[in-house]
């Protein structure tokens, strides 16, 4: 597949539980974006959920959504392209961060999470892979596919099985949620501190 909608797909930049993320370019405007494509139509609820959650978020430390389509095969969402790498790759490259850098990153993550909580959402899969950096080192939290409204009773576990019996989520993150069930904001703070 070379195109999806009005976007030329350039390179795969990430892969998650239910989708692939591509670096893409709008055919006419030539702007670079990230396009998340479903691997399997059975995971449509996760893609729709991520689109709805991101649509309600407007914060510098959360990836912005630009659009998408459920009518296309496969369905997709379009987000801002964040090209400064992930916290995971930064930690792998450097091993240990300087205190000032670690505190700046932590403050940005907490700012994005605090905003998300204020808007009534929890991420449920905060981990170094889902913390990206822009070219100018601004933290961008991504992958809200497991995100839920705080009042949603299904927030308690970050892990779930799909129709095929495959585990979706992150085991370490799910363990935190299952041990502090009933306190979603406290779980998110605990997980952020563990990063």
Taking CA atoms, 100 is separated from 86, 105, 193, in Å, by: 18, 9, 16
Which residue out of 41, 83, 100, 125 is catalytically annotated? 125
Identify whether 125 is a catalytic site residue. Answer: yes
User: To 10 degrees, the CA torsion angle through 3, 6, 147, 41?
Assistant: -50
Nearest to 195 by CA among 126, 119, 116, 112: 126
Which two three-digit tokens encode residue 136?
Answer: 């100018």
DSSP H helix total and E strand total for the chain: 5, 12
* Pairing between β-strand 3-4 and β-strand 7-15 as defined by DSSP bridges: antiparallel
Residues assigned a catalytic role: 125
């Amino acid at each position: 597949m070379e195109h999806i909608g009005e976007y030329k797909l350039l390179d795969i930049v990430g892969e998650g539980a239910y989708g692939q993320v591509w670096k893409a370019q709008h055919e006419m405007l030539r702007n670079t974006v990230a396009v998340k494509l479903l691997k399997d139509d059975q995971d449509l609820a996760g893609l729709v959920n991520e689109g709805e959650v991101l649509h309600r978020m407007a914060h510098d430390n959360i990836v912005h959504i630009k659009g998408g389509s459920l009518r296309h095969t496969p369905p997709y969402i379009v987000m801002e392209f964040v090209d400064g790498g992930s916290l995971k790759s930064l930690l792998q490259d450097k091993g240990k961060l300087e205190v000032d850098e670690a505190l700046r990153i932590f403050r940005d993550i907490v700012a994005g999470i605090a905003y998300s909580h204020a808007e009534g959402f929890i991420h449920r899969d905060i981990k170094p892979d889902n913390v990206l950096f822009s070219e100018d080192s601004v933290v961008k939290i991504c992958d809200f596919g497991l995100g839920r409204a705080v009042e949603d009773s299904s927030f308690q576990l970050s892990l779930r099985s799909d129709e095929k019996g495959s585990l979706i989520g992150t085991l370490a993150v799910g363990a935190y949620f299952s041990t502090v069930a009933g306190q979603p904001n406290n779980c998110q703070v605990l997980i952020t501190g563990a990063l």
